[in-house]
Amino acid sequence: MSAAAAAGTWKLGDLEVNRIGYGAMRLTGNGMMGNSDGTPIDRDRAVGLLHSAFEQGVNHIDTAAFYFSALRSANELINRALSSRYSDVVVVTKVGPARDSSGEWLPMARPDQLRGQVEENVRQLGRDHLDVVNLRVGGPGMSSIAEHFGVLAELREAGLIRHLGLSGVGPEHVAEAQAIAPVVCVQNSYGLDWRRADETGLVDLCGEQGIAFVPFFAVSGLRREAAAGQEHDARVHSVARAHNATPAQVRLAWTLHRGPHVLAIPGTTDPAHLAENIAAGSLRLSEEELALLDKPDKAAD
């Protein structure tokens, strides 16, 4: 059994993936959000990192055409790394947001612009169709997604997209989308420090409907796009010491324990951190440890 399979598997529609995946945003140098971590790693090293992930069993990659910096495109790197592995790896991308060539954010795409975004992802990834496309909404403030999601459903019927998902949504969006076409995954910010998806019932709703819930920022938490900083949560340190694990591994394990439908897509450019993230899938937390992690962290107050 591969390292990434230790946490088990889940199906995105008919596509079975290991629950530990990989998020490609950091391969760009993180410049896409204006929080650059510096010059991105060399292209060959980036492709080598992806190959290492695949060899450790990662078969679920998260990306987007708007994941780019002045020097790197996540889709281009994935295309290069997957030249002979497309049948083995599920690539999930997002549409809705867009950036111009200088990196400035543009308004949310109109429904009639979504086909162009899908086709751009197809071109960059070197595919004839996309495995999964998430409509990235950006929060519950968008009152209706029916027109946008309807366009993607039409592209699914036309064969450009295999499965559909949502990102940055609330339960009301899931219900609206499900009435149009099947939703296989929901990707939202979620972790120990940000549990809005629990407050709204979204995590449980996804489990009840057989939809994968895919947290992002599960490790970086409130730092969001920035790299994870020094761990200040006493609860996390306590559990990490008990397992001879890293705080990041504990945070990932906590999300995976939330339910068998919860996946993980941590991103990194460090081979050692990649191996640690993947190994988090084998970390089993006790009921007492989970209860401890669910208590307020007094040391962080």
Is residue 204 domain-resident?
yes
pLDDT at 228 over 70: no
In this prediction, residue 299 carries a pLDDT of 46
Domain of residue 130 covers 17-300
Is residue 5 domain-resident?
no
Q: Higher model confidence: residue 225 or residue 116?
A: 116
In this prediction, residue 138 carries a pLDDT of 67
| Average pLDDT of the segment spanning 251-280 | 96
pLDDT at 32 over 60: no
Catalytic residue among 22, 67, 86, 190: 67
Is residue 10 domain-resident?
no
Is residue 12 domain-resident?
no
Nearest alpha carbon to residue 72 among 61, 80, 84, 62: 80
- Sorting pLDDT into bands at 50, 70 and 90, what band is 41? confident
| Average pLDDT of the segment spanning 10-16 | 98
Is residue 2 domain-resident?
no
In this prediction, residue 84 carries a pLDDT of 72
Query: In CATH, what number is assigned to the domain containing residue 41?
Result: 3.20.20.100
Residues 171, 200 contacting (CB under 8 angstroms): yes
Is residue 87 domain-resident?
yes
In this prediction, residue 139 carries a pLDDT of 53
| Average pLDDT of the segment spanning 10-32 | 90
In the annotation, is 22 catalytic? no
Burial level of 272, CB count in 10 A (0-12/13-18/19+)?
exposed
In this prediction, residue 29 carries a pLDDT of 84
Q: By mean pLDDT, which of 77-81, 126-130, 139-143, 157-161 is the weakest? A: 139-143
Q: By mean pLDDT, which of 9-18, 49-58, 141-150, 255-264 is the weakest? A: 141-150
Burial level of 159, CB count in 10 A (0-12/13-18/19+)?
exposed
pTM: 0.93
Question: Total structural domains in the chain?
Answer: 1
Is residue 1 domain-resident?
no
Is residue 4 domain-resident?
no
Cα separation, 118 vs 129, whole angstroms: 9
Q: How large is the angle between the packed helices 74-81 and 43-55, nearest 10 degrees? A: 60
Mean pLDDT of the chain: 91
pLDDT at 20 over 80: yes
- Sorting pLDDT into bands at 50, 70 and 90, what band is 87? confident
